[in-house]
Structure 1
């Protein structure tokens, strides 16, 4: 008799699958809100164009920070369940990095 090969998805626990699903949904929402709201138009005034481009770039950076923030939360949650200290440390580092990246523009201006 042959043993059936299990895929990685079947081997993942229910909590891990839920965490991955929530991360994908969270990332999709953040990207759609960030990219859908901010539009850059060319204007007659070059300063306005530079300001619009700057706002757009900072909104992209903020979206990346929010994705990292969400991933850090999921990683810390999974590490608390599995009692893995190295994963917990990585989760807190990712969480801190996401917070710093998300709120970076406010500290620059």
Structure 2
């Protein structure tokens, strides 16, 4: 199971909905995002977002549309099991309340 910080999850969600999201160079999640290939390109080069070139500054990075794949992986590996786990806990509590 992937352990992902809420900050990265939020950025991936924004990237999925918008197609891109700005990442500050000083972003505390930047190293983890690079390690997990959520973002691509180097600072100072042209980034391609949804097929359109965007000239970047040296202080900006972007999650590419490849982030959509990462986003879905994150959803199924993190969010859905968590939701199922919470639902299971609620059902268990409900059973205990009914039995007592």
TM over 0.5: no
Greater per-residue strand proportion: 2
Computing the radius of gyration over CA atoms, which structure comes out larger, 1 or 2? 1
More helix by share: 1
Q: TM-score, normalised by structure 1?
A: 0.30
Structure-2-length-normalised TM-score: 0.32
